[in-house]
Structure 1
């Protein structure tokens, strides 16, 4: 008996010291402090169930919250069946009520799946209803990117369009910039705008050479020397 009284508050245990048996202590404590069968308790629990909605909770968290309240309701409102048929009917009725509780608190984006479950005849078991909604929740999570992922993808696309700035993101180094044309990825020594493309003839030299050739061929010589002699001179 001492293990029962020692587990109590000292102020409460004094009232049980004179009881003869452990059964007497247990029965007295149960009668005094147990609220099993209390209609007020059942009312409060039913009220909590009606007010419980998913909101920011995941489907699993929402379902677990309701399940804890249902277990508490079972404790305070035990049903005594007269026969096996009674038990079957009550169990079916209780399942249907709890499916309605679960469906009623789901967020609006589950309207389509909710309509599908409620249109099923007979109403599926509570566990089956949860499984259907939970599977849909997982499918949506897999199909939709998070906002941060979308922003990251958008930023990456913009930098690619600007040309070459992705290297800066991955390496963390500043790009090489030509001080002649102002473009990235090359220096003044390798600037095509300044020196021309590799292998291409130099425009300035061709123009000068062409001009000299035209001048030489078109201008007559009054000195009596040939063009070759003039070039030699």
Structure 2
């Protein structure tokens, strides 16, 4: 009686919330990291993507040790072996060939995970130095504010992974050391961000550094982005104003042109030379008295003589008056 009952209970469907649940589409050859296969230089990125995938599949316990293998007489042993084989296949499918060969004889997914952690996950002084050097040599240049910040953010996250922020393990700690450590790292990132900005942001840079207390990194990013947008709006207004002014200046009405020309002509007619009996100048500027300049064209004199043979009535009156008085 016990045998059939146990057999029927072992065939009961597995709850979808159980770590032993496998979807019909799951298979050991699934690749959860795309082209980002594990190699010697990308363990932190690979580990982050695999952790996310295993959490989504509810299988993280098979690599972090919280789902150890059941005893031989356990009803869950077969389900555990099925899931372990599946997770092991997922890990191997996301590696390059060289690394895949080194773990193909590992018995459990947990063994593979621990082996990779020991080989690639330990803090590497040369890697940490390289990342810090990348931070100090990264400048905005031709990048937008968003692209520049994103590039820094990816390096900061990698530094955080290989050199985690120290944390206090004391129970009931009164000094909240963890929070202070986080503030210190946040301040370092703020300095990194401001140091790499282009010179055009010097004003807002100085304003941020002069603030007490210093703003958070996210607020500083917002202030710099806002400053950029304001300057773009200001430039558009300036260009628009100059263009409108130029167009207004260039569009002189025909009536205004006619008035201007008549005014100039009237001023020239009011000037009369008593020496050569011509309009347009006085005796002080008469070329017959002071001499003709090199650029003077004799034909010009004849042309003006033909046009001005008969002086105006006002000029004749003035001339006769002067002669009479003389």
Question: 2:71 matched to 1:16?
Answer: no
Residues matched between the structures, number:
161
1:29–1:125 Cα change, 3 Å? same
Question: 2:221 matched to 1:134?
Answer: no
**Alignment check: 8 A CA contact 1:36 1:75 kept:** no
Unaligned runs of 5+ residues in structure 1 are 165-233
Bigger share in helix: 1
Matched residues in 1 for 2:126 and 2:179: separation?
A: 27
| Counterparts of residues 78-227 of structure 1 (less than 5 Å) | 78-83=164-169, 85-145=176-236, 153=243, 157=247, 160-161=250-251
Query: Aligned with 2:101: secondary structure?
Result: helix
Unaligned runs of 5+ residues in structure 2 are 1-87, 255-326
Matched residues in 1 for 2:94 and 2:221: separation?
A: 40
Question: 2:152 matched to 1:69?
Answer: no
**Alignment check: 8 A CA contact 2:140 2:198 kept:** yes
Question: 2:116 matched to 1:29?
Answer: yes
1:13–1:110 Cα change, 3 Å? closer
Q: CA deviation at 1:70?
A: 0.9
Matched residues in 1 for 2:149 and 2:103: separation?
A: 41
Matched residues in 2 for 1:144 and 1:65: separation?
A: 28
1:130–1:12 Cα change, 3 Å? closer
1:50–1:14 Cα change, 3 Å? closer
Structure 1 runs of 4+ with >4 Å offset: 158-164
**Alignment check: 8 A CA contact 1:36 1:77 kept:** no
Q: CA deviation at 1:60?
A: 1.8
Name 1:43's counterpart in structure 2: 129
1:132–1:9 Cα change, 3 Å? closer
TM-score, normalisation: structure 2: 0.44
Q: CA deviation at 1:10?
A: 3.9
Please, what is the CA RMSD of the aligned residues?
2.9
Q: CA deviation at 1:4?
A: 2.7
Query: Aligned with 2:141: secondary structure?
Result: coil
Matched residues in 2 for 1:122 and 1:159: separation?
A: 51
1:12–1:129 Cα change, 3 Å? closer
**Alignment check: 8 A CA contact 1:35 1:41 kept:** no
Q: CA deviation at 1:8?
A: 3.1
